[in-house]
Structure 1
Amino acid sequence: MDRFVTRDTPLSNIDLDDLPWDPAKRKNILSYHPNQRDEVRRKYLSRGPCQPRGHNFKKTAIGGVLRRFNPKWFDKYGDWLEYSVEKDKAFCLCCYLFRDQAQNQGGSDCFVSTGFCGWNKGLDQHVGSDVNSFHNNAKRKCEYLMRQGQSIKHSLHKQSNVVKNDYRIRLNASIDVSRHLLHQGLPFRGHDESDESVNRGNFLELLKYTAGQNESVRKVVLNNAPKNNQMTSPPIQKDIVHCFSEEVTKSIIEEMDNDVFGLLVDESADVSDKEQMAVVFRFVDKYGLVKERFVGIIHVKETSSISLKYAIDSLFAKYGLSLKQVRGQGYDGASNMKGEFNGLRSLILKESSSAYYVHCFAHQLQLVVMAVGKKHFEVGEFFDMISFLMNVVGASCKRKDLIRENYRKIVEEGISNGEIKTGTGLNQEISLQRPGNTRWGSHYKTLLRLVELFSFVVKVLEYIQDEGTDSTKRQQAYGILKYFHTFDFVFYLHLMLFVLGLTDSLSKALQRKDQDILNAISLVESTKSQLQKLRDDGWGTFMAEVSSFCEKNDIGFVIVEEEFVDSRRPRKKTGITTLHHYKVDCFYNVLDMQLQEFNDRFDEVNSELLVCMSSLSPIDSFRQFDKSLLMRLAEFYPDDFSPMERKSLDLQLEIYLDNVKRDERFVDLKSLGDLARVMVETRKHLSHPLVYRLLKLSLIVPVATATVERCFSAMTFVKTTLRNRIGDVFLSDCLVCFIEKQVLNTITNESVIKRFQDMSERRVHL
């Protein structure tokens, strides 16, 4: 009945960016209004056919023989052949876009609606030998539609070379301005863009400045351009940004080279309270370097695992990727993400059994240090007082200025006395930094600043207590001052400084993009060792620091031989000395809790998968090499190693070990990342391809979601409270270009112009 859906179809608003990517999910082209069909067709043609080249195509028994879709067909029929991952069937893009009312012409209906799965027949029958076959006619119509220079409008208004040259200069100027604004993450539009405005927005102002520096540009832009073709309107700006974003993402996908990769996902609300899901791919490039690339954010109406999975499916279909290529998952540990039964992790594992999940190491470390530390009553009280301090001192600009001014005077006195050295980057203005649970490492910086600014903070609190106008703030300042002059405050301040100081280096190392999981595990073990050493031998050094701080700031030191009095129950006898309380109940107890939590949370350390991966480690001349464990590791990836390849790997491993041990270039390697890089540099990845494949699979397993967190930080920079109406697609395009600016710099204007011209009908055809 769809052949009759023509003139009566209502004209409606179509979100061209929301058109389905999977051919099996598209609605009939005839269901669109006749005046909108060309717009839809052009959008699909500019996108190109859906071709998940790295997909593991399902085998089906046909005539007693297992057959499947041949990925080489993508190269042979690349301009029209599509594949639906959901239906496991092939479709024709051209026939879908120009479907005739007649049915079943050369298999056209099969390739349009139901899908083709006769893998034993091939696709030549659909193309047909006749130049006027249904498919060939549809293909010609696609070519005519995209050939703008032959449209009726262009035929009636033949454009001279002068017009085209002016248009190219104007378009290049707009592209250059857009590139600069994207690189800096700056807004495009202004509040008032009229000619009389003194600030018309960054795009127009920068274009005006560019024109003033170049005479050839000035003659053809802004007021010197045709009023209907100035190339400065908001839709044109968004089209240019979208072209940049698509080219950047295309470069990233090409960099992945249809190989396997890891998936890092997280969600967060933006300033307009829209839930955004950020997606990052982790892969090994052709040079053996581990890369983590941001590919976009997706607005999700709800954060259920089903919704997140649907958004990821759409993104993968858009770029011709398949979940079968995923070999690692990295999330922050939320239940909707890591749930073993209904979480996103389990939904992806159903489609790719080798997509092993790792809870973000950096997030786990934050939970270990802060959440566990606060379980100790006195440590929790200490951090509560730090929060009160930030609210009292950090809530007023005047109070912050008092701290800065007092600090500046001390620095100036030290410089004049020769006690403080001067130089580039030294003696910078500092203030208290508010800690945040999602800003890994921020608590350590806050405590360091508090120690450095302690005397100035006390002076400000005394000022608030004596001269503050707000009685509540005066009472809070009194309470904080009273606590700050107790031994408990000094003790827990330095205890947490010791603990956070030991874990700070680990936190920074875990957040590196190229960090591999084996090195991360090694760093975790080293940190545990240092914590154990602090517990066993660090009491004397620790108490010396506490004593020095008390003496410097005139804070009373406890008498360790006396009986300890619990401030919560002062009349009740404790039966223990003060030394026992602080050393055993506090110092040992807090460190034991930390060590226990390290063992419980970082359970990946003991997993069989990582034990097998450790055999690839190049440390100490491949001392941990174990052939049996590496053969077991290959079994964890059945889609990557066939039974015959596993037999070949068994023989290749011995040759590989002997080869790298004899090569001086493999001496003193410290990580799997170094090993992969050197293997590519020495071209041994070609001599030992199966070993290198194992190595890449190990490197793809994610360590932390720090890259995703940085994307959310960039999102707050691009979408601010003053720019909170920015659209979801435009926001994603801006973020891709801003975050991956290194890739953005490689995108040429010509590639942007070509994509821009293909997006829709333009007034001038180049």
Structure 2
Amino acid sequence: MVDGGSGLFLSLLDYTIKKHPLLADAVKTLPRNATYTCHDIQNELIGLLSDVVTESIVKEVGNSYYTLKVDGTRDPTGCKNMSIVIQFVKEYESCKVVEFLLTIATTEMGDAQTLTDTILAVLHKAGLNASKILSKVYDVASLMSGKITSLLTEIDSVRAHGPELRMEAVGLLREMTASSFLFIANFVHEVLALLDPPSKLLQREDTDLWAGLSIVASAKHCVQKLRCDEGFTKVWEKALESASARASLTTPKRKRTANKTMFDYLVEETTGQRDYDIETELKRLYYSTVDSVIEEMDKRFGERNTHLYHALATIDPESESFLDPETVKHIIDLTQSPIVKAEFEVAKQFLRSVSDKESDTDREKWTTRLILSKDHNALQTMPSVLIALKHALACGASTATHENSFSSLRNVFTDHRCSMLHKRKAQLVQLTFEKDLT
């Protein structure tokens, strides 16, 4: 029926027929005008499989509170593809934290209202309650790339590049070797180096909100320490050293000659741009930039997140304020769940007694995940404590999973399949990504 056919679907169908004798016999009885391999039938079968996977995901979520994770990328057609991922604590399998790709949604507009409406529509269609969203994680950051200095030097030295391009290369090279440019470059590098650890941590799949906020607070403290004269002097002196070392890379300036028509005149003062204290200007820029970075970090991880930070700290078994009901209340309030202080007192005493009974060799690192895994049955008698522990693990801080879904998207939506409809594309990506469910 499909001998000589092309395409992934027909190849898989041919493979399935060869593996199942009963299906092979059934295929032999099909009339030639009803082979059921047209694109409409393919789309229907893919849609049915995707519906089964989505129903399975929704069933897994159940009544659990979940974190909504959204990240976007554009495909070759210019449409914005949004990977929508659900993270929650699985009731079974020892309260394991899991993530599922719900779908790949597509929009032509990238404004906040359109994205919000699209996400809510996806949740509603899947049968998920938007009021069960515990936290939301978005990633709309862009990456920047640059060119190395040696390329500009090469362009300057090769006449085949043309005079205009060579002049532009010389101008850029001269600017890049200026002390002011090198100061800014070194300063930006130093700040970004301090922000790199939280950036990497927040991109890991196993990162929770408590770990993310802890490393962000540490990075902010390090940035604050830059705000001093010693910090500025260190960067300024490094820039001056770099400027001296790189001066040899620039093309020597053309020797200037005096204008003979001006020989009979005396210039008493300069005109145009006057000299200014570049060090003072750069110091002003230095302090204002540090203040802006700190202000932005405070804005993104402000007072509300600070309350959550302290609340999540009490969930850490190593914390001195472990299971303090007054502090952990901010997590419970996210879902307006009741809090019973007596349950926290009993749970704290119970968990510490369990830990004390274990020998040093048998004792594992005491974590929230370990507590839920080993003592889930006992904690069911203390529902408000169980809710707090689950909420702490379900609060997301990373969109790393989306990058994997975008890899599946690139494999499915190749240059040879640009005519594929979005619905089929999204369903194929989901089936590929959630292969454990299929």
Whether 1:284 and 2:89 are equivalent positions in the alignment is yes
Flag the structure with larger Rg: 1
Match of 1:731 in 2: 425
Question: Taking structure 1 as reference, are residues 551 and 226 closer, same or farther at Cα in structure 2, changes over 3 Å only?
Answer: farther
Whether 1:468 and 2:161 are equivalent positions in the alignment is yes
Partner Cα separation in structure 2 for residue 231 and residue 552 of structure 1: 72
- Write out per-residue CA displacement over residues 365-394 of structure 1, whole angstroms, 9 at most, x where no aligned residue: xxxxxxxxxxxxxxxxxxxxxxxxxxxxxx
- Write out per-residue CA displacement over residues 400-420 of structure 1, whole angstroms, 9 at most, x where no aligned residue: xxxxxxxxxxxxxxxxxxxxx
Deviation at 1:240, TM superposition (A): 3.6
Equivalent residue of 1:591, what SS?
Answer: helix
Letter in 2 for 1:745: D
Q: TM-score, normalised by structure 2?
A: 0.75
Question: Taking structure 1 as reference, are residues 460 and 224 closer, same or farther at Cα in structure 2, changes over 3 Å only?
Answer: farther
Match of 2:204 in 1: 512
Partner Cα separation in structure 2 for residue 608 and residue 487 of structure 1: 44
Answer yes or no: is the 8 Å Cα contact 2:152–2:170 preserved in 1. Answer: no
Whether 1:681 and 2:374 are equivalent positions in the alignment is yes
Deviation at 1:623, TM superposition (A): 3.5
Match of 1:615 in 2: 314
Partner Cα separation in structure 2 for residue 315 and residue 295 of structure 1: 8
Runs (4 or more) in structure 1 with deviation over 6 Å come to: 211-225, 301-307
Match of 2:327 in 1: 629
Alignment of 1:307-706 (within 5 A): 311-312=118-119, 314-330=121-137, 360=138, 438-439=141-142, 442-443=143-144, 446=145, 453-455=148-150, 457-463=151-157, 466-469=159-162, 472-536=164-228, 538-539=231-232, 542=235, 546=239, 549-550=242-243, 553-554=246-247, 571-574=273-276, 576=277, 579-582=279-282, 584-604=283-303, 608-620=307-319, 622-623=320-321, 625-631=323-329, 633-638=331-336, 640-641=337-338, 646=339, 649-662=340-353, 663=355, 668-669=365-366, 674-683=367-376, 684-705=378-399
Partner Cα separation in structure 1 for residue 16 and residue 433 of structure 2: 28
- Write out per-residue CA displacement over residues 167-220 of structure 1, whole angstroms, 9 at most, x where no aligned residue: xxx9xxx9xxxxxxxxxxxxxxxxxxx95x9xx334445767x59997979977
Match of 1:242 in 2: 47
Deviation at 1:595, TM superposition (A): 2.0
Q: Which runs of 5+ in 2 are unaligned?
A: 250-270
Partner Cα separation in structure 1 for residue 53 and residue 74 of structure 2: 25
Question: Taking structure 1 as reference, are residues 312 and 531 closer, same or farther at Cα in structure 2, changes over 3 Å only?
Answer: closer
- The root-mean-square deviation of aligned C-alpha atoms, in Å, is 4.2
Aligned length: 408
Question: Taking structure 1 as reference, are residues 739 and 476 closer, same or farther at Cα in structure 2, changes over 3 Å only?
Answer: farther
Question: Taking structure 1 as reference, are residues 540 and 292 closer, same or farther at Cα in structure 2, changes over 3 Å only?
Answer: farther
Partner Cα separation in structure 2 for residue 493 and residue 509 of structure 1: 24
Letter in 2 for 1:628: E
Match of 2:60 in 1: 255
Equivalent residue of 2:200, what SS?
Answer: helix
Answer yes or no: is the 8 Å Cα contact 1:264–1:279 preserved in 2. Answer: yes
Letter in 1 for 2:132: Q
Partner Cα separation in structure 1 for residue 7 and residue 149 of structure 2: 45
Partner Cα separation in structure 2 for residue 687 and residue 218 of structure 1: 52
Deviation at 1:554, TM superposition (A): 4.6
Letter in 2 for 1:201: G
Question: Taking structure 1 as reference, are residues 263 and 218 closer, same or farther at Cα in structure 2, changes over 3 Å only?
Answer: closer
Answer yes or no: is the 8 Å Cα contact 2:66–2:132 preserved in 1. Answer: yes
Letter in 2 for 1:602: F
Partner Cα separation in structure 2 for residue 260 and residue 579 of structure 1: 54
Partner Cα separation in structure 1 for residue 22 and residue 161 of structure 2: 60
Letter in 1 for 2:393: L
Equivalent residue of 2:182, what SS?
Answer: helix
Partner Cα separation in structure 2 for residue 541 and residue 307 of structure 1: 47
